[in-house]
Amino acid sequence: MSGAPSVVYVLPGKIGGVLNFVDNLLAHRRRDGFRHCAILTRNHLENDTPFDGTLAADAQRRVEYSLPVENLYSVLRRLARAVPSGPGVLVANDWLELAMLAVHPGDRTVVSITHGDFDYYYDLAERHEPLIDCFVTYTRRMHDQLAARLPHRRDTIFNLPYGVAIPSACRAPAAGPLRLLYVGRMNREKGIFDLPAIDARLRELGVAVTWTLQGVGPDEAELQRRWGAHAPARWTGLQPMNRVLALYREHDVLVMPSRSEGLPVALLEAGAAGMVPVVSDLLSGIPEVVEPGVTGYRPPVGDIAGFADAIAALARDRERLEAMSRAARRTVADRFDIRERAADYQALYARWRELGRPKPARFHLSYGSRLDSPWLPNTLVRAVRTVRRSWRRCAPTSATA
């Protein structure tokens, strides 16, 4: 790959929205004269579900590490070696690649993606702003929030909605209980512990429904425990993408009680299949897709009764359900077709020469501790930190000392 211009995506190699975002762009790109490479990073000390598959890239590499046990500088060197030589674009999706650029600056134009409407991503952008040539958001809210944080960079912040494939086949009406689907990571930030309460309220209202829960995550066992005797019969776990897309066509309503989002991939995929979303009324992304009473419902965050009432209304009025199903599919097809949205990203990458900005000669790396030093051997740092972690686990607490 040396010498040829390339687009290099660096991203966490774990199941989730960021992975789906990058894979969709790669799978639906047009020929553009670039080589497209994906570098998947994996921290073995995190409990997220790793992605062991292959993205639709021309080349794929993996960088594995163990932080905070390892010397951070050793990890950053490892990542820098994985980046192909030559000109082009580096697409940053998280903190590790931005930290790498502070220590190992290159000649590539750096495009930083803001993947959520919360401080983590805005803080990343602010902290590493001198290293970043341009920023990408994919909702109006995220664009405005980032521009407010970085007003002097407003002309280098691009709002580019992403998209999903629009299937030729979509869901069909079905008699009987309303078919409800949750798709997403099984963690509390997604509001999953609201699901049993919504189900209990629907039973109180006498509304017949079935549930399917698609996804894996650290809080799955706790969710099953809380749901108890009335837990759904279908827990599909980790499924290949073709099966996930089929699930959308087999259900009526997508239930998403999230606490925060950027623009959920599952919301667009479900809408493309004609599902009606009942999703938390979040400021970012959701209002661009869900018009209450037209393409779905937006109950307030944590409003169990609001979620149940919206689902009950759809269960009792199937004509309304079908009208909203058609409207949801039309909205996603008109605004979020991946063929057009991927082309927008490629058009931005094609401007890599003009978007490039002068970088600082020196940049302070604001991560790590005294043991994270470029001159300390990684083996020594690992040994010291491993002993410290073992000691902390074994040390008696004040209650038992």
Q: What is the pLDDT of residue 238?
A: 85
Q: What is the pLDDT of residue 40?
A: 98
pTM: 0.87
Lookup: tokens for 335 = 């605004």
Residue type, position 273, single letter: A
Identify the bridge partners of residue 211 per DSSP, sorted by sequence position. Answer: 180
Confidence label for 395 from pLDDT (cuts 50, 70 and 90): low
Question: Which domains does the chain possess?
Answer: 6-163+339-355 (3.40.50.2000), 178-336 (3.40.50.2000)
CB 277 within 8 A of CB 184: no
Per-position DSSP letters for 20-70, written without gaps between them: HHHHHHHHTPPP-S-EEEEEEEEETTS-SPBP-S--SSSEEEEEEE-TTTS
CB 101 within 8 A of CB 79: no
User: Is pLDDT at 46 greater than 80 in this prediction?
Assistant: yes
The gap between the terminal CA atoms of the chain, to the nearest Å, is 59
Q: At what angle do helices 119-127 and 140-149 cross, to 10 degrees?
A: 40
Instruction: List, in order, residues 6 or more apart from 128 with CB less than 8 Å away.
Output: 98, 101, 102, 112
Instruction: List, in order, residues 6 or more apart from 23 with CB less than 8 Å away.
Output: 55, 56
Q: How far apart are CA 360 and CA 305, in angstroms?
A: 53
User: Is pLDDT at 400 greater than 90 in this prediction?
Assistant: no
| Model confidence pLDDT, tens digit, residues 205-238 | 999 999 999 998 889 999 999 998 888 889 998 8
